[in-house]
Structure formats: structure tokens, C-alpha cells
Amino acid sequence: MPAIDTDRFLRDLQELRRIGAYKTGVHRPTYSPQDMESRRWLMERMAEIGLEPSIDGIGNVHGRHKGAGPHLLAGSHIESQNHAGWLDGALGVVAGLALARAGLPVDVVAFADEEGHFEGGFLGSRSIIGDLTEEEIDRSRNRTDGTPLREALAAAGLAGKPRLQLETGRHKGFFEMHIEQGTQLEGAGLRAGVVTGIVAIWQWRILIEGMQDHAGGTTMAERRDAGLAAVRLLAMLDQEMPRACGERSTWTTGRIALDPGAPSIIPGRADILFQFRDVEMAVLERMERCLRACVQESNRRERSRATLTAVSKATPALCDPAMMAALDAAAQSIAPGAWQRMPSGAGHDAQYIARVMPVAMLFTPSIGGISHHWAEDTKEEDLALCMRILGDAAERYLKA
């Protein structure tokens, strides 16, 4: 078993937590000064360990192992959702550092914008596998404030830098440690989860256009109320999605923006962000047919017109059997009976890396399942335990 320094691992996590600290969590949106500070902090840690650090034109930080292979790749993302938790992403990156520090032949990576602050999302892991075009970078904007991605990259000092591509054949596999972001482990009294596959997120935008008008002068019969059409369509989806979904599917309306959003004005426009997730393509396709049918039915019934746009449609990723077997064996040796296999309901960088090499993920429990919120947390003893499992699994898989 490799000599994992779990104290140092926990200290690194606590140090990184101070960058962009917000209540007990962090606020490090992609390319913000806080995010860039965390990337510089990471490069210093990489250099200390003897890795060769670099940052590329999309913000990916890479620490290259200088010794002989076969190599592993390990990491995650380092930016956070707005006012969110300290471990989401950061945990996997710092776990990568701990593997390299233990002397394992590991390249460490922190991808950029897994959290999707910018249109497209997963910019870093998509860029490193050659899935992100210059044209998409030209088009993409910040989803919160509309800043063009090019401007954000320039402000972060990344304009003009080349984008790193993974070296074909260099890596035997990618390990990503991550918090569960749910309550399945906690609910079952378990301390580690070996991930079997990662759901795909199909993200949609529904734009409804009616006619902005005075809320008193316009009779109910005359109205083309885009907000009301939005409520009816979303209520229809609430009814119909259960008929189309799979056992573990999720679907979420993250935003409903009514324009202009004033008390006495009939909304002329409604802008909706809707997504669903599943591990099976067949289920995803069934849910898309359901969504399209509901939008079509809305357009038959309503006087406000709904338009559906696919924002992103990822492919579900299955984890590698040999890597899962290494994680199973490590978990059973270090935490006998206190672990399980489970799918990942959340999207992760590993789903893109899976297109070019075998991948596996290890989940730590999330206290109360809280995630994408500053109160997100995991017990330190669970973090340390999972770090030891990951180290053991990495060694087992390298020898396999």
C-alpha cells in the first residue's frame, strides 16, 4: 500500500478552502480572481512535489510526472459554483496531489469550468480531449452576467495561450475522487462509493414569447401572458416526465425568468432552464421525446409561442471494470462492509475523459446530502479513509 500522507492531504484541503472563503464554503466562479489564485496555489503545490506545472489557454492546470510510466491521470475541477461548498471539485484535485506526493506515477489535473459558469460547460475536460472548438469559445458567454468567454479568458491572463491535449497512450486511466452530493451513502451508513457510471445531463432552454402588457387594462381573454404559458408548460412536464423517465432519472427547472418581472406588467417573455439526467441513452431519448411533445402541445394550446433549444447533450459514461475492481478491493481491505457500488447522479469531468481512456470515480459521503451550497461538508475521517482507498486502488490498478 502506498504511503499516503492523509494529514498533509487534509491540510492542503483546508489551505485551498481559504481562497475565496464564503461562510463555511467558497465562492470561486470560473476565471474569477479567486479561481485564478487557487490555480496558482495548485501549481506551487505541484512544483513542491516535483511535478512539472503548467496552465493552458482554457485554464486547465496540469502537473506532469517527470518519471517513467505507466502513468495515471488524477484530478477534478477547482472552481466552485457561486457561494458553494469547499470540497466539490477541490477534493479530487487535492487527492491527485496526495497520490503524486506518495510517489505514484500520477499526472495531476484541475479542469476549468466543470460547473458550467459559461455556456457549454465542462470547458476544461472537453478542451483537453479535443471536443471544444475555437468557434464555441468565440460564442460562449457567462450564464450569470453575459460576459463573453473570450473577455473572461483575457481578463484572467489566459488569452493566446495554447490549449493542452492529452498525450495518446500516456495514461492507463483517470481517477476522480468526489463528494457524493446525495444521501445514499449517509442513509445506508456507508463511508465510500465506487461509481459504476456517470449520468449524462441534457440541458435545455425554453423561451416563451407572448406580449408584454398592462396587468389591469388587458382582460384575461386578450392576454398573451408568457409567464402563465411557462407555468402551464412546466406543470405539464411535472405530469408527463414520470411517464417517460427511468428509475433513477432526475429533471430540474433551475431558472424561470419573467421579463420584465414587475408586479403590474403581464410578462412578455419567459426564459426557462430545464435539464434531465440519466445513465441510459434510451431513457434520455425518451425524456427528450416527452419534452418535445409537451412544448408542441403548449404551442397548440397557448397564444404565447414556446421555442426549445438544446444547450448541451452529454453522453453517459460507464466506469472501467478493472479500475472499479481495484477500487472494490481497496475499499474492502480498508473499510470492509462500509462501501457500495453506485451510479453518479451528477455530471463529472470523468465523463469526458472516459472518451479517451478508462476512468473510475470514488465517492465520499456528503453530510445531509447538501451540495452546491456553502453548507456542503464531509467528515474529515471519511475524507482520510477515502484517500487511503484511492491510494491503494491506484497502486493495485497500476500493478494489474
Q: How far is the CB of 245 from a copy of itself (least distance, A)?
A: 8
Helices and strands per DSSP (H, E), number in the chain: 12, 17
- Minimum distance of a copy of itself from residue 234's CB (angstroms): 4
Candidates 129, 155, 256, 325; binder of a copy of itself (CB under 8 A) is 256
Return d(Cα 386, Cα 178) in angstroms, integer.
10
Judged by CB under 8 A, the residue of 71, 232, 388, 396 near a copy of itself is 232
Helix axis angle for 90-101 and 6-17, nearest 10°, is: 140
Q: Which long-range contacts (CB under 8 A, 24 or more apart) does 130-138 make?
A: 130/165, 131/352, 131/355, 132/58, 132/163, 137/58
Cβ closest to a copy of itself, residue 11 vs residue 23: 23
Measured CA to CA, the distance from residue 83 to residue 78 in angstroms comes to 14
- Closer residue to a copy of itself in complex, CB, 165/252: 252
Binding mask 180-199 for a copy of itself (x = CB under 8 A): xxxx---------------x
- Residue 165 to residue 56: CA distance in whole angstroms: 10
CB 71 within 8 A of CB 172: yes
**134 annotated as belonging to a binding site for a ligand:** no
Is 77 annotated in a binding site? The answer is yes
Instruction: Establish whether 372 is an annotated binding residue.
Output: yes
220 contributes a contact to a copy of itself by CB under 8 A: yes
Segment contacting a copy of itself (CB under 8 A): 33-41, 75-83, 281-289, 324-332? 75-83
- C-alpha dist (Å) from residue 170 to 106, 107, 249, 351, 358: 11, 10, 35, 19, 12
At closest approach, how far in Å is the CB of 70 from a copy of itself? 32
Please tell me the total number of residues recorded for the chain in this structure.
Answer: 400
Distance CA 311, CA 272 (A): 12
Residue 291: CB minimum distance to a copy of itself, A: 15
Task: Using the minimum distance from each CB to a copy of itself, give the nearer residue, 32 or 344.
Answer: 344
Closer CB to a copy of itself, 210 or 391, in the complex: 210
For the CA atoms of the chain, what is the radius of gyration?
A: 22
Residues 306-325 that bind a copy of itself (CB under 8 A): 311
Buried b (16+ CB within 10 A) or exposed e, 375-394: ebbbeeebbbbbbbbbbbbb
Name the one residue in this structure whose C-alpha cell is 483575457: 154
Nearer to a copy of itself, 66 or 243 (CB): 243
Nearer to a copy of itself, 105 or 227 (CB): 227
Which span (10-18, 145-153, 267-275, 380-388) binds a copy of itself, by CB under 8 A?
A: 267-275
The residue from 5, 37, 136, 213 that contacts a copy of itself (CB under 8 A) is 213
Contact with a copy of itself (CB under 8 A): which of 251, 339, 352, 397? 251
* Residue span binding a copy of itself (CB under 8 A) among the ranges 57-65, 68-76, 126-134, 369-377: 369-377
Question: How far apart, in whole angstroms, are the C-alpha atoms of residue 113 and residue 131?
Answer: 14
Q: Which of 35, 56, 79, 115 binds a copy of itself (CB under 8 A)?
A: 115
255 belongs to the binding site for a copy of itself (CB under 8 A) = yes
d(CA 141, CA 153): 11
Report the alpha-carbon distance of residue 156 to residue 186 in Å, rounded. 39
Nearest approach, Cβ of residue 230 and a copy of itself (Å): 8
Q: Where are the beta strands (DSSP E) in 180-215?
A: 192-198, 200-209, 213-214
C-alpha cell at 21: 472563503
Which residues make up each annotated binding site for Zn(2+)?
Answer: 77, 88, 115, 178, 372
* Binding residues for a copy of itself (CB under 8 A): 81-83, 115-116, 143-144, 180-183, 199, 201, 203, 212-220, 222, 225, 227-228, 230-232, 234-235, 238, 248-258, 260-268, 273, 275, 277, 311, 344-347, 366, 369-373
